[in-house]
Amino acid sequence: MRFMIIVKASQDSEAGIMPSTELLTAMGNYNEELAKAGILLAGEGLHPSSKGARVSFSGDKRMVIDGPFAETKELIAGYWLWQVKSKEEAIEWVKRCPNPMPGTEAEIEIRQVFEAEDFGEALTPELREQEERAFGRGEKC
């Protein structure tokens, strides 16, 4: 099972305040643990929303909204993508994570990633082939 581990933004991360050497060291050690355990597939920090944009859809119309965005607690500061056996295993790993926002409250969200088999018959063999061409494997949907 794949899970996206989402680090929620804080006022500091949205202000562009970079992590300390101590936090970078702690996170580096944690990432090495994840890699040694064979569960780490990807992970990155994100620039603040002030450097981002959103595209909203209404029918066939598109509207671009430049950041920053309100509601910091709903924004993402970074993520990991893990391959684990269960949600419970993902929870146990997250509980071992250094606080990503030292000196303040932080929140990490855990969300399961869809796998090809989750789509049942709607994902036809032709669509599976298309996914494999686009992503290099049929599991990303």
pLDDT in tens, 34-84: 999 999 999 999 999 999 999 999 999 999 999 999 877 789 999 999 999
Which band of pLDDT confidence, cut at 50, 70 and 90, is reported for residue 27?
very high
Here the tokens at position 18 are 């970079």
CA neighbor of 48 nearest in space, from 67, 29, 21:
67
Do 13 and 103 form a contact (C-beta atoms < 8 A)? Answer: no
Number of other residues whose CB lies within 10 A of the CB of residue 117:
10
CA neighbor of 3 nearest in space, from 115, 122, 132, 105:
115
pTM: 0.87
Contacts of 96 (CB under 8 A, 6+ apart): 30, 33
**Which amino acid is present at 50?**
S
CATH number of 2-113: 3.30.70.1060
pLDDT of residue 116: 86
